[in-house]
Amino acid sequence: MNAAALAAAVPGNAASAHARGVFLFHPTITRGARIGPGKGPVMKALRWYGKQDVRVETVPDPTILHPQDAILKVTACAICGSDLHLYDGMIPTMEKGDILGHEFMGVVVETGPEVQGLSIGDRVVVPFNIACGRCFFCKNQMFSLCDNSNPNAHMAESAYGYSPSGLFGYSHLFGGYAGGQAEYVRVPFADVGGFKVPEGMSDEQVLFLGDIFPTGYMAAENCNIVPGDTVAVWGCGPVGLFAIKSAYMLGARQVVGIDRYPERLEKARVDCGATIINYEHSNVLEALKELTQGRGPDSCIDAVGMEAHGVGLEFWYDRIKQAVMAQTDRPTAFREIIKACRKGGAVSVPGVYGGFIDKFPLGAAFNKGLTLRMGQTHTHRYMRGLCERIMAGEIDPSFVISHRMSLDEAPQGYDMFVHKTAGCIKVFITP
Ligand SMILES: NC(=O)c1ccc[n+]([C@@H]2O[C@H](COP(=O)([O-])OP(=O)(O)OC[C@H]3O[C@@H](n4cnc5c(N)ncnc54)[C@H](O)[C@@H]3O)[C@@H](O)[C@H]2O)c1
Ligand SMILES: [Zn+2]
Ligand SMILES: [Zn+2]
Protein backbone atom coordinates (compact mmCIF):
# COMPACT_ATOMS: atom_id res chain seq x y z
CA MET A 1 0.00 0.00 0.00
CA ASN A 2 1.48 3.37 -0.89
CA ALA A 3 1.37 6.38 1.42
CA ALA A 4 -1.63 7.97 -0.28
CA ALA A 5 -3.66 4.79 -0.13
CA LEU A 6 -2.61 4.28 3.46
CA ALA A 7 -3.61 7.80 4.36
CA ALA A 8 -6.98 7.32 2.71
CA ALA A 9 -7.52 4.07 4.60
CA VAL A 10 -6.96 5.60 7.98
CA PRO A 11 -10.01 7.20 9.55
CA GLY A 12 -9.74 10.89 9.94
CA ASN A 13 -6.86 11.65 7.61
CA ALA A 14 -7.91 14.91 6.07
CA ALA A 15 -6.79 17.70 3.85
CA SER A 16 -7.02 20.41 6.48
CA ALA A 17 -4.34 18.88 8.69
CA HIS A 18 -2.03 18.44 5.70
CA ALA A 19 -2.67 22.04 4.75
CA ARG A 20 -0.96 23.06 7.96
CA GLY A 21 2.06 20.96 7.13
CA VAL A 22 1.22 18.11 9.45
CA PHE A 23 2.69 14.84 8.38
CA LEU A 24 0.40 12.28 9.90
CA PHE A 25 1.55 9.05 8.34
CA HIS A 26 5.01 7.87 7.52
CA PRO A 27 5.44 6.61 3.97
CA THR A 28 7.75 3.78 4.94
CA ILE A 29 5.47 2.30 7.57
CA THR A 30 2.59 0.25 6.29
CA ARG A 31 -0.39 -0.97 8.18
CA GLY A 32 -0.46 -4.58 9.22
CA ALA A 33 3.22 -5.09 8.43
CA ARG A 34 3.95 -6.29 11.93
CA ILE A 35 2.68 -8.93 14.25
CA GLY A 36 0.71 -7.44 17.13
CA PRO A 37 2.68 -6.62 20.24
CA GLY A 38 2.99 -9.70 22.39
CA LYS A 39 -0.37 -11.24 21.71
CA GLY A 40 -0.58 -11.73 17.95
CA PRO A 41 -2.64 -9.77 15.49
CA VAL A 42 -5.93 -9.50 17.36
CA MET A 43 -6.87 -7.73 20.54
CA LYS A 44 -10.02 -7.12 22.51
CA ALA A 45 -11.57 -3.68 22.42
CA LEU A 46 -14.81 -2.02 23.44
CA ARG A 47 -16.68 -0.82 20.35
CA TRP A 48 -19.61 1.55 19.91
CA TYR A 49 -22.57 0.37 17.86
CA GLY A 50 -25.27 2.91 18.64
CA LYS A 51 -27.28 4.34 21.48
CA GLN A 52 -26.50 2.34 24.65
CA ASP A 53 -24.97 -0.44 22.57
CA VAL A 54 -21.28 -1.17 23.17
CA ARG A 55 -19.64 -4.55 22.66
CA VAL A 56 -16.29 -6.12 23.42
CA GLU A 57 -14.94 -7.67 20.23
CA THR A 58 -11.66 -8.65 18.67
CA VAL A 59 -10.07 -6.23 16.24
CA PRO A 60 -6.64 -5.92 14.60
CA ASP A 61 -3.91 -4.66 16.91
CA PRO A 62 -2.96 -1.03 16.41
CA THR A 63 0.24 -0.35 14.54
CA ILE A 64 2.71 2.50 14.35
CA LEU A 65 1.46 4.89 11.65
CA HIS A 66 3.78 7.82 12.26
CA PRO A 67 7.37 7.95 13.53
CA GLN A 68 6.26 9.80 16.66
CA ASP A 69 3.71 7.13 17.65
CA ALA A 70 4.00 4.61 20.44
CA ILE A 71 1.91 1.52 21.08
CA LEU A 72 0.82 0.86 24.65
CA LYS A 73 -0.34 -2.33 26.24
CA VAL A 74 -3.17 -0.93 28.30
CA THR A 75 -2.96 -1.90 31.96
CA ALA A 76 -5.89 0.19 33.21
CA CYS A 77 -8.64 2.33 31.78
CA ALA A 78 -11.86 3.89 32.98
CA ILE A 79 -15.26 5.01 31.78
CA CYS A 80 -15.60 8.78 31.86
CA GLY A 81 -18.76 10.87 32.12
CA SER A 82 -17.85 12.09 28.63
CA ASP A 83 -18.10 8.51 27.34
CA LEU A 84 -21.71 8.56 28.50
CA HIS A 85 -22.51 11.32 26.00
CA LEU A 86 -21.26 8.98 23.25
CA TYR A 87 -23.07 6.03 24.79
CA ASP A 88 -26.31 8.02 24.82
CA GLY A 89 -25.84 8.98 21.16
CA MET A 90 -25.47 12.69 21.93
CA ILE A 91 -22.24 13.27 19.99
CA PRO A 92 -22.51 13.20 16.20
CA THR A 93 -20.07 11.58 13.75
CA MET A 94 -19.70 8.27 15.58
CA GLU A 95 -19.41 5.22 13.34
CA LYS A 96 -20.36 1.68 14.17
CA GLY A 97 -17.33 -0.21 15.42
CA ASP A 98 -15.46 2.85 16.77
CA ILE A 99 -13.27 1.94 19.75
CA LEU A 100 -14.06 4.04 22.83
CA GLY A 101 -11.93 5.10 25.79
CA HIS A 102 -9.87 8.20 26.52
CA GLU A 103 -8.83 7.60 30.12
CA PHE A 104 -6.12 4.94 30.01
CA MET A 105 -2.55 4.07 30.90
CA GLY A 106 -0.19 1.29 30.07
CA VAL A 107 3.25 -0.01 29.23
CA VAL A 108 5.09 1.02 26.06
CA VAL A 109 5.53 -2.02 23.81
CA GLU A 110 6.62 -0.33 20.60
CA THR A 111 7.90 3.09 19.57
CA GLY A 112 8.18 4.87 16.25
CA PRO A 113 11.69 5.85 15.08
CA GLU A 114 11.32 9.48 16.18
CA VAL A 115 10.14 8.82 19.73
CA GLN A 116 12.96 9.97 21.98
CA GLY A 117 11.65 10.25 25.51
CA LEU A 118 9.98 6.86 25.88
CA SER A 119 11.40 3.37 25.84
CA ILE A 120 9.88 -0.09 25.65
CA GLY A 121 8.74 -1.04 29.13
CA ASP A 122 8.00 2.50 30.37
CA ARG A 123 4.75 2.89 32.31
CA VAL A 124 2.82 5.93 31.13
CA VAL A 125 -0.46 7.74 31.66
CA VAL A 126 -1.79 9.42 28.55
CA PRO A 127 -3.91 12.62 28.47
CA PHE A 128 -7.26 12.28 26.75
CA ASN A 129 -6.44 15.10 24.36
CA ILE A 130 -3.85 14.59 21.64
CA ALA A 131 -1.38 17.45 21.32
CA CYS A 132 1.59 18.07 19.03
CA GLY A 133 3.63 20.09 21.52
CA ARG A 134 4.79 22.53 18.84
CA CYS A 135 1.90 24.66 17.58
CA PHE A 136 0.93 28.09 18.92
CA PHE A 137 -1.64 26.56 21.28
CA CYS A 138 0.62 23.83 22.66
CA LYS A 139 3.45 26.32 23.17
CA ASN A 140 1.01 28.40 25.20
CA GLN A 141 -0.06 25.39 27.27
CA MET A 142 -3.52 25.23 25.66
CA PHE A 143 -3.11 21.59 24.76
CA SER A 144 -6.81 20.82 24.24
CA LEU A 145 -6.78 23.40 21.45
CA CYS A 146 -3.82 21.92 19.54
CA ASP A 147 -3.92 22.88 15.89
CA ASN A 148 -2.21 19.78 14.56
CA SER A 149 -3.88 16.73 16.05
CA ASN A 150 -7.34 16.67 14.52
CA PRO A 151 -7.11 15.15 11.06
CA ASN A 152 -10.81 15.95 10.64
CA ALA A 153 -10.30 19.61 11.47
CA HIS A 154 -12.47 20.63 8.52
CA MET A 155 -15.50 19.06 10.20
CA ALA A 156 -14.92 20.86 13.49
CA GLU A 157 -14.12 24.09 11.68
CA SER A 158 -17.48 24.10 9.95
CA ALA A 159 -19.24 23.57 13.29
CA TYR A 160 -17.08 25.72 15.59
CA GLY A 161 -15.10 28.11 13.39
CA TYR A 162 -11.81 26.55 14.46
CA SER A 163 -10.98 22.99 15.45
CA PRO A 164 -10.00 21.89 18.95
CA SER A 165 -7.45 19.09 19.40
CA GLY A 166 -8.07 15.50 18.48
CA LEU A 167 -9.36 13.26 21.29
CA PHE A 168 -8.93 9.55 21.84
CA GLY A 169 -12.06 7.52 21.16
CA TYR A 170 -14.31 10.52 20.79
CA SER A 171 -16.05 10.56 17.39
CA HIS A 172 -14.80 11.52 13.95
CA LEU A 173 -15.43 15.20 14.62
CA PHE A 174 -12.50 14.95 17.05
CA GLY A 175 -10.23 12.93 14.79
CA GLY A 176 -11.63 9.41 14.59
CA TYR A 177 -8.84 8.06 16.82
CA ALA A 178 -9.24 4.60 18.33
CA GLY A 179 -9.62 4.78 22.10
CA GLY A 180 -7.98 2.99 25.00
CA GLN A 181 -10.75 0.75 26.31
CA ALA A 182 -8.78 -1.97 24.62
CA GLU A 183 -5.81 -4.23 25.16
CA TYR A 184 -3.56 -2.01 23.03
CA VAL A 185 -3.73 1.56 21.82
CA ARG A 186 -1.76 3.76 19.43
CA VAL A 187 -0.57 7.00 21.01
CA PRO A 188 0.28 9.76 18.51
CA PHE A 189 2.85 12.40 19.58
CA ALA A 190 3.90 9.93 22.26
CA ASP A 191 6.71 12.10 23.59
CA VAL A 192 4.30 14.96 24.22
CA GLY A 193 1.50 12.95 25.81
CA GLY A 194 3.17 9.99 27.51
CA PHE A 195 3.60 10.93 31.17
CA LYS A 196 6.01 8.52 32.84
CA VAL A 197 4.70 7.15 36.10
CA PRO A 198 7.11 7.61 39.01
CA GLU A 199 8.38 4.46 40.65
CA GLY A 200 6.17 2.88 43.26
CA MET A 201 2.82 4.41 42.26
CA SER A 202 -0.10 2.12 41.48
CA ASP A 203 -2.35 2.33 38.42
CA GLU A 204 -5.29 3.27 40.65
CA GLN A 205 -3.36 6.22 42.06
CA VAL A 206 -2.29 7.71 38.73
CA LEU A 207 -4.83 6.70 36.06
CA PHE A 208 -7.04 9.73 36.63
CA LEU A 209 -4.13 12.11 35.89
CA GLY A 210 -5.09 11.58 32.25
CA ASP A 211 -8.51 13.18 32.60
CA ILE A 212 -10.79 13.71 35.59
CA PHE A 213 -8.29 14.89 38.20
CA PRO A 214 -6.85 17.66 35.97
CA THR A 215 -10.41 18.40 34.83
CA GLY A 216 -11.63 18.99 38.38
CA TYR A 217 -8.49 20.98 39.10
CA MET A 218 -8.73 23.22 36.03
CA ALA A 219 -12.41 23.75 36.80
CA ALA A 220 -11.45 25.06 40.23
CA GLU A 221 -8.56 27.09 38.84
CA ASN A 222 -10.97 28.75 36.41
CA CYS A 223 -12.89 30.07 39.43
CA ASN A 224 -10.05 32.41 40.45
CA ILE A 225 -10.56 31.36 44.05
CA VAL A 226 -9.29 33.66 46.78
CA PRO A 227 -8.94 32.43 50.35
CA GLY A 228 -12.27 32.47 52.13
CA ASP A 229 -14.40 31.92 49.02
CA THR A 230 -17.48 29.76 48.79
CA VAL A 231 -17.52 27.57 45.69
CA ALA A 232 -20.63 25.64 44.63
CA VAL A 233 -20.24 22.55 42.47
CA TRP A 234 -23.19 21.17 40.48
CA GLY A 235 -22.72 17.43 39.93
CA CYS A 236 -20.98 15.13 42.42
CA GLY A 237 -19.80 12.65 39.83
CA PRO A 238 -16.06 11.99 39.53
CA VAL A 239 -15.39 15.39 37.92
CA GLY A 240 -17.41 17.24 40.54
CA LEU A 241 -15.66 15.35 43.35
CA PHE A 242 -12.23 16.31 42.02
CA ALA A 243 -13.44 19.88 41.57
CA ILE A 244 -14.49 19.98 45.24
CA LYS A 245 -11.13 18.64 46.43
CA SER A 246 -9.29 21.04 44.13
CA ALA A 247 -11.33 24.07 45.26
CA TYR A 248 -10.18 23.37 48.82
CA MET A 249 -6.57 22.94 47.61
CA LEU A 250 -6.81 26.37 45.99
CA GLY A 251 -8.03 28.09 49.16
CA ALA A 252 -11.83 27.89 49.27
CA ARG A 253 -13.30 28.12 52.78
CA GLN A 254 -16.55 26.41 51.96
CA VAL A 255 -17.41 24.12 49.04
CA VAL A 256 -20.98 23.06 48.37
CA GLY A 257 -21.76 19.89 46.38
CA ILE A 258 -25.12 19.58 44.61
CA ASP A 259 -26.58 16.34 43.22
CA ARG A 260 -29.48 13.97 43.80
CA TYR A 261 -27.76 10.61 44.36
CA PRO A 262 -27.22 9.99 48.10
CA GLU A 263 -24.04 7.93 47.61
CA ARG A 264 -22.46 10.68 45.52
CA LEU A 265 -23.51 13.38 47.98
CA GLU A 266 -22.08 11.29 50.81
CA LYS A 267 -18.77 10.96 48.96
CA ALA A 268 -18.73 14.72 48.50
CA ARG A 269 -19.42 15.26 52.20
CA VAL A 270 -17.32 12.53 53.81
CA ASP A 271 -14.36 12.18 51.41
CA CYS A 272 -14.17 15.76 50.15
CA GLY A 273 -15.49 17.85 53.05
CA ALA A 274 -18.30 19.51 51.11
CA THR A 275 -21.54 20.88 52.47
CA ILE A 276 -24.20 19.11 50.42
CA ILE A 277 -27.53 19.95 48.82
CA ASN A 278 -29.87 17.36 47.33
CA TYR A 279 -31.63 19.27 44.56
CA GLU A 280 -34.62 16.93 44.70
CA HIS A 281 -35.24 17.83 48.34
CA SER A 282 -34.24 21.49 48.59
CA ASN A 283 -34.53 24.66 46.59
CA VAL A 284 -30.90 25.06 45.49
CA LEU A 285 -30.97 28.85 45.16
CA GLU A 286 -32.49 29.32 48.61
CA ALA A 287 -30.10 26.82 50.22
CA LEU A 288 -27.09 28.54 48.66
CA LYS A 289 -28.32 31.94 49.81
CA GLU A 290 -28.59 30.63 53.33
CA LEU A 291 -25.03 29.30 53.22
CA THR A 292 -23.62 32.60 51.96
CA GLN A 293 -25.38 35.24 54.07
CA GLY A 294 -27.71 35.99 51.18
CA ARG A 295 -24.95 36.90 48.73
CA GLY A 296 -24.58 33.70 46.67
CA PRO A 297 -21.48 31.59 45.99
CA ASP A 298 -18.37 33.44 44.79
CA SER A 299 -17.96 30.91 42.03
CA CYS A 300 -19.95 28.04 40.57
CA ILE A 301 -18.80 24.95 38.71
CA ASP A 302 -20.95 23.09 36.19
CA ALA A 303 -19.69 19.50 36.50
CA VAL A 304 -22.88 18.19 34.91
CA GLY A 305 -22.82 19.10 31.23
CA MET A 306 -25.20 18.46 28.36
CA GLU A 307 -27.31 15.68 29.89
CA ALA A 308 -28.46 17.46 33.03
CA HIS A 309 -31.46 16.26 34.98
CA GLY A 310 -33.67 18.45 37.09
CA VAL A 311 -36.99 18.97 38.74
CA GLY A 312 -39.94 20.90 37.43
CA LEU A 313 -41.09 22.26 34.14
CA GLU A 314 -37.80 23.62 32.93
CA PHE A 315 -36.19 20.17 32.93
CA TRP A 316 -39.04 18.69 30.89
CA TYR A 317 -38.89 21.63 28.54
CA ASP A 318 -35.18 20.88 27.93
CA ARG A 319 -35.76 17.18 27.60
CA ILE A 320 -38.48 17.58 25.01
CA LYS A 321 -36.53 20.18 23.07
CA GLN A 322 -33.53 17.84 23.01
CA ALA A 323 -35.66 14.87 21.99
CA VAL A 324 -37.14 16.72 19.02
CA MET A 325 -33.69 18.07 18.19
CA ALA A 326 -34.69 21.68 18.74
CA GLN A 327 -31.58 21.95 20.92
CA THR A 328 -28.65 19.54 21.18
CA ASP A 329 -27.77 20.01 24.86
CA ARG A 330 -29.80 20.20 28.10
CA PRO A 331 -28.56 23.24 30.02
CA THR A 332 -30.78 22.74 33.09
CA ALA A 333 -27.92 22.95 35.60
CA PHE A 334 -26.12 25.69 33.70
CA ARG A 335 -29.15 28.01 33.80
CA GLU A 336 -29.52 27.47 37.53
CA ILE A 337 -25.83 28.28 37.98
CA ILE A 338 -26.12 31.61 36.18
CA LYS A 339 -28.95 32.52 38.52
CA ALA A 340 -27.31 31.24 41.69
CA CYS A 341 -23.86 32.78 41.28
CA ARG A 342 -23.21 35.96 43.22
CA LYS A 343 -22.87 39.25 41.35
CA GLY A 344 -19.38 39.61 39.89
CA GLY A 345 -18.72 35.90 40.41
CA ALA A 346 -17.10 33.29 38.19
CA VAL A 347 -18.81 30.42 36.41
CA SER A 348 -16.56 27.54 35.39
CA VAL A 349 -17.84 24.86 33.02
CA PRO A 350 -15.92 21.57 32.80
CA GLY A 351 -19.17 19.72 31.96
CA VAL A 352 -19.20 18.93 28.26
CA TYR A 353 -21.48 20.79 25.84
CA GLY A 354 -21.48 19.92 22.17
CA GLY A 355 -23.86 22.12 20.24
CA PHE A 356 -26.69 24.52 20.91
CA ILE A 357 -28.85 25.38 23.89
CA ASP A 358 -32.11 27.20 24.19
CA LYS A 359 -32.92 30.02 26.61
CA PHE A 360 -29.38 30.90 27.54
CA PRO A 361 -29.81 33.54 30.27
CA LEU A 362 -27.38 35.99 28.76
CA GLY A 363 -29.16 38.93 30.37
CA ALA A 364 -28.59 37.54 33.86
CA ALA A 365 -24.94 36.75 33.12
CA PHE A 366 -24.41 40.20 31.65
CA ASN A 367 -26.20 42.25 34.27
CA LYS A 368 -24.57 40.38 37.13
CA GLY A 369 -21.14 40.88 35.59
CA LEU A 370 -20.25 37.19 35.60
CA THR A 371 -17.02 35.73 34.24
CA LEU A 372 -17.51 32.52 32.24
CA ARG A 373 -14.67 30.06 31.62
CA MET A 374 -14.98 26.63 30.06
CA GLY A 375 -13.50 24.00 27.82
CA GLN A 376 -11.85 20.65 27.46
CA THR A 377 -9.03 20.38 29.98
CA HIS A 378 -5.45 21.25 29.04
CA THR A 379 -4.56 17.96 30.69
CA HIS A 380 -0.84 17.93 29.84
CA ARG A 381 -0.40 21.20 31.77
CA TYR A 382 -1.44 19.71 35.09
CA MET A 383 -0.14 16.14 35.16
CA ARG A 384 3.24 16.71 36.79
CA GLY A 385 2.02 19.10 39.47
CA LEU A 386 -0.93 16.94 40.40
CA CYS A 387 1.23 13.81 40.44
CA GLU A 388 3.45 15.58 42.95
CA ARG A 389 0.42 16.25 45.12
CA ILE A 390 -0.41 12.52 44.99
CA MET A 391 3.17 11.61 45.91
CA ALA A 392 3.07 14.10 48.78
CA GLY A 393 0.00 12.31 50.13
CA GLU A 394 -2.28 15.33 49.67
CA ILE A 395 -4.78 13.28 47.70
CA ASP A 396 -5.35 9.68 46.64
CA PRO A 397 -7.43 9.84 43.43
CA SER A 398 -8.54 6.22 43.80
CA PHE A 399 -11.16 7.43 46.31
CA VAL A 400 -13.61 7.86 43.40
CA ILE A 401 -13.50 4.21 42.29
CA SER A 402 -16.68 2.33 43.12
CA HIS A 403 -16.32 -0.66 40.77
CA ARG A 404 -13.43 -2.69 39.41
CA MET A 405 -13.96 -4.96 36.41
CA SER A 406 -12.42 -6.65 33.39
CA LEU A 407 -12.73 -5.33 29.83
CA ASP A 408 -15.22 -8.12 29.07
CA GLU A 409 -17.48 -6.69 31.76
CA ALA A 410 -17.18 -3.10 30.53
CA PRO A 411 -20.60 -3.08 28.78
CA GLN A 412 -22.19 -3.75 32.19
CA GLY A 413 -19.99 -0.97 33.57
CA TYR A 414 -21.46 1.46 31.02
CA ASP A 415 -24.98 0.37 31.91
CA MET A 416 -24.39 0.86 35.65
CA PHE A 417 -22.60 4.18 35.20
CA VAL A 418 -25.19 5.71 32.90
CA HIS A 419 -28.10 4.70 35.12
CA LYS A 420 -26.16 5.34 38.35
CA THR A 421 -27.20 1.93 39.67
CA ALA A 422 -25.41 -0.22 42.26
CA GLY A 423 -23.89 2.93 43.75
CA CYS A 424 -21.75 3.35 40.65
CA ILE A 425 -19.47 6.39 40.77
CA LYS A 426 -16.40 5.37 38.75
CA VAL A 427 -15.55 2.17 36.92
CA PHE A 428 -11.89 1.10 36.87
CA ILE A 429 -11.16 -1.47 34.16
CA THR A 430 -8.24 -3.85 33.89
CA PRO A 431 -8.01 -5.13 30.30
N1 LIG B 1 -13.92 19.50 30.32
C2 LIG B 1 -13.33 18.33 30.22
O3 LIG B 1 -12.22 18.24 29.73
C4 LIG B 1 -14.02 17.13 30.78
C5 LIG B 1 -13.30 16.00 31.17
C6 LIG B 1 -13.98 14.93 31.76
C7 LIG B 1 -15.35 14.99 31.90
N8 LIG B 1 -16.03 16.10 31.48
C9 LIG B 1 -17.48 16.24 31.63
O10 LIG B 1 -17.79 16.49 32.99
C11 LIG B 1 -19.16 16.11 33.24
C12 LIG B 1 -19.22 15.25 34.48
O13 LIG B 1 -18.48 14.06 34.29
P14 LIG B 1 -18.59 12.89 35.38
O15 LIG B 1 -17.63 11.84 34.98
O16 LIG B 1 -18.53 13.43 36.75
O17 LIG B 1 -20.07 12.37 35.01
P18 LIG B 1 -21.28 11.77 35.88
O19 LIG B 1 -22.35 11.45 34.91
O20 LIG B 1 -20.78 10.68 36.76
O21 LIG B 1 -21.72 12.97 36.84
C22 LIG B 1 -22.65 13.94 36.52
C23 LIG B 1 -23.43 14.23 37.79
O24 LIG B 1 -24.27 15.37 37.58
C25 LIG B 1 -25.44 15.18 38.34
N26 LIG B 1 -26.50 16.07 37.88
C27 LIG B 1 -27.33 15.95 36.80
N28 LIG B 1 -28.15 16.99 36.71
C29 LIG B 1 -27.86 17.82 37.75
C30 LIG B 1 -28.38 19.06 38.21
N31 LIG B 1 -29.37 19.68 37.55
N32 LIG B 1 -27.83 19.61 39.32
C33 LIG B 1 -26.83 19.00 39.99
N34 LIG B 1 -26.29 17.82 39.60
C35 LIG B 1 -26.80 17.24 38.50
C36 LIG B 1 -25.74 13.70 38.11
O37 LIG B 1 -26.65 13.20 39.08
C38 LIG B 1 -24.36 13.09 38.22
O39 LIG B 1 -24.04 12.67 39.52
C40 LIG B 1 -19.62 15.39 31.97
O41 LIG B 1 -20.33 16.30 31.15
C42 LIG B 1 -18.32 15.04 31.28
O43 LIG B 1 -18.48 14.91 29.89
C44 LIG B 1 -15.38 17.14 30.93
ZN1 LIG C 1 -13.19 12.20 29.94
ZN1 LIG D 1 -0.22 21.52 19.09
106-120 pLDDT tens trace: 999 999 999 999 999
Mean pLDDT of 304-329: 89
Ligand 2 centre from 212 Cα, in Å? 6
Ligand nearest to C-alpha 103: 2
Residue 20: name the closest of 130, 184, 101, 132 by CA.
132
Q: Phi then psi for 388, rounded to 5 degrees?
A: -65, -35
Q: What is the pLDDT of residues 247-265, one digit of tens each?
A: 999 999 999 999 999 999 9
Q: Provide the pLDDT for residue 325.
A: 82
- From the CA of 304, give the closest atom in ligand 1: 24
| 397 within 8 A of 404, measured Cβ to Cβ | no
Q: Provide the pLDDT for residue 326.
A: 83
Q: Which residues pair with 104 in a beta bridge?
A: 77, 126
Whether the predicted pLDDT of 340 surpasses 70: yes
- From the CA of 264, give the closest atom in ligand 1: 39
- The residue whose CA has the least distance to atom 11 of ligand 1 is 351
- What pLDDT band is residue 314 in, cutting at 50, 70 and 90? confident
Ligand 2 centre from 261 Cα, in Å? 21
Q: Provide the pLDDT for residue 30.
A: 30
- The residue whose CA has the least distance to atom 31 of ligand 1 is 333
Ligand 1 centre from 61 Cα, in Å? 32
Ligand 1 proximal residues by C-beta, below 6 Å: 80-82, 84-85, 211-212, 215, 234-240, 258-261, 264, 279, 303-305, 308-310, 332-333, 350-352, 376-377
Mean pLDDT of 215-232: 98
SS3 (DSSP) at 43: strand
What percent of the chain has pLDDT above 70? Answer: 90
Burial of 421 (0-12, 13-18, 19+ CB in 10 A): exposed
Ligand 3 centre from 195 Cα, in Å? 17
| 181 within 8 A of 100, measured Cβ to Cβ | yes
C-alpha span between 201 and 81 (Å, rounded): 25
Q: Which of 79, 82, 145 to mutate to test the pocket of ligand 1 (most atoms within 8 A of CB)?
A: 82
Whether the predicted pLDDT of 13 surpasses 80: no
Residue 181: name the closest of 38, 75, 41, 63 by CA.
75
Q: Provide the pLDDT for residue 160.
A: 96
Ligand nearest to C-alpha 164: 3
Q: Provide the pLDDT for residue 101.
A: 98
Q: Provide the pLDDT for residue 34.
A: 36
Mean pLDDT of 386-412: 98
- What pLDDT band is residue 389 in, cutting at 50, 70 and 90? very high
Ligand nearest to C-alpha 147: 3
CA 338, distance to chain mean position in Å, is 23
Ligand nearest to C-alpha 137: 3
Ligand 2 centre from 59 Cα, in Å? 23
Lowest mean pLDDT among 28-37, 270-279, 382-391: 28-37
Q: When comparing pLDDT for 327 and 416, which is higher?
A: 416
Residue 391: name the closest of 133, 251, 198 by CA.
198
Q: Provide the pLDDT for residue 322.
A: 87
Ligand 3 centre from 152 Cα, in Å? 15
The rounded mean pLDDT for the chain is: 91
Whether the predicted pLDDT of 294 surpasses 90: yes
- The residue whose CA has the least distance to atom 30 of ligand 1 is 333
**Rg of the Cα atoms in the chain:** 21
Whether the predicted pLDDT of 190 surpasses 60: yes
- What pLDDT band is residue 17 in, cutting at 50, 70 and 90? very low
C-alpha span between 244 and 236 (Å, rounded): 9
Ligand 1 centre from 116 Cα, in Å? 37
- The residue whose CA has the least distance to atom 23 of ligand 1 is 235
Ligand 2 centre from 90 Cα, in Å? 15
- The residue whose CA has the least distance to atom 25 of ligand 1 is 235
Q: Phi then psi for 178, rounded to 5 degrees?
A: -70, 140
C-alpha span between 330 and 338 (Å, rounded): 14
Q: Provide the pLDDT for residue 108.
A: 98
Residue 183: name the closest of 39, 73, 69 by CA.
73
Q: Provide the pLDDT for residue 10.
A: 37
Using a CB cutoff of 5 Å, list residues around ligand 3, an ion: 131-132, 135, 138, 146, 148
Q: Provide the pLDDT for residue 327.
A: 85
Q: Provide the pLDDT for residue 328.
A: 87
- From the CA of 260, give the closest atom in ligand 1: 37
Ligand 1 centre from 204 Cα, in Å? 21
Q: What is the pLDDT of residues 48-74, one digit of tens each?
A: 999 999 999 999 999 999 999 999 999
Whether the predicted pLDDT of 227 surpasses 70: yes
Q: Provide the pLDDT for residue 278.
A: 98
Mean pLDDT of 188-210: 98
Q: Provide the pLDDT for residue 40.
A: 55
